[in-house]
Amino acid sequence: MSFLERAWHKRAGWLILLWPVSVLFQALTKIRRAVQQSKQRPADLTTPLIVIGNISLGGTGKTPLLITLSQELQKQGFKPGIISRGYSGRAPSYPLAVNSDSDVSQSGDEAFLIAQKTGCPVYVDPDRSAALHALLLHEDVDVVLSDDGLQHYKLYRDLEIVVVDGHRLFSNGFCMPAGPLRESMLRLNEVHHIVVNGEPAREIPQLARASKMQLEPRTLVNLVSGEKRPFAGAPFNMGNKLQAVSALGNPQRFYTLLERLPYELETFSFPDHHSFTAADFKQQGIDDHQPVVMTEKDAVKCRQFAKNNFWYLSVEVKLESQFVERLIEDIRQV
């Protein structure tokens, strides 16, 4: 976590000095949205489009939610397709179709994991509208989910879902740079659904209609052998030290899950979407004889140089059934 992020979450008093800049940022954001956003459905778009995003910087859990919703829609007979910015990926050309055989360095970690976990067609492009057109041109889909893109105003959308981190919520409630918000909290009044990841740290009026989401740890999976061990209990030898490695927007949520286990925990945090190399682990002095545990999103970038002590944590997303039912009804009414 950067110095500024720590100040946001501690509600440091000196941040008020940045408040005038935040007001300007918010005004420019509103102008940009008014200029770019189209409220009229494009004539060539006949497929419902759902944007899943957030109004704050840092990880909130939108990718696990998108994966779970894609799987739920498939169970209901839908044929979802997915578009993404492809964060951390550098493809030779765009739009890029992503599948489980793609090069993660080209697709980006989130898009690769989504394709791997859902089996849905996934297209990435910095211009999400271009990704959308390519997806609809080449694939047979009847609903499209956008991984992030809430502030990608050029992209027309039928439904918007905002994911909120229950622990951090909105920190001090200021827009950038005085706080972590990309848009004012008033934006929550406009979206169709709000999902809170975890139990909210405090009551906020804007979250009165929100649905709940929980990430439950299930198994630890070895990157080399594929061996699975149940998370509950003591999956490693007593006396082991867990080395938690992450490149997440909000790694503390991951570390908190691992703190449930009866081991000493040492954490190694890298920048969000960091492209791991074997040298990263060596330079940090990570012990080859102690378990290394990471998220599944980070694990997809480490398979080529993984060692026998590399594991990832597989989690299950728990959603309120009423939320899924309401979303499906909304899709059918588009």
Residue 223 tokens read as 């990157």
What CATH superfamily is the domain 3-213+319-333?
Answer: P-loop containing nucleotide triphosphate hydrolases (3.40.50.300)
Statement: residue 38 has pLDDT above 80: no
Domain ranges of the chain: 3-213+319-333, 215-317
Write out pLDDT tens, residues 114-139.
Answer: 999 999 999 999 999 999 999 999 99
Nearest to 236 by CA among 253, 222, 217: 222
Write out pLDDT tens, residues 98-117.
Answer: 998 899 999 999 999 999 99
Write out pLDDT tens, residues 296-330.
Answer: 999 999 999 999 999 999 999 999 999 999 999 99
Statement: residue 39 has pLDDT above 80: no
Domains 3-213+319-333 and 215-317 belong to one CATH topology: yes
The yes/no answer on whether domain 215-317 falls in CATH 1.10.246 is no
Question: How far, in Å, CA of 33 to CA of 186, rounded?
Answer: 14
Question: How far, in Å, CA of 149 to CA of 155, rounded?
Answer: 8
pTM, two decimal places: 0.92
- Residue linked to tokens 């909304």: 330
Write out pLDDT tens, residues 47-72.
Answer: 999 999 999 988 888 999 999 999 99
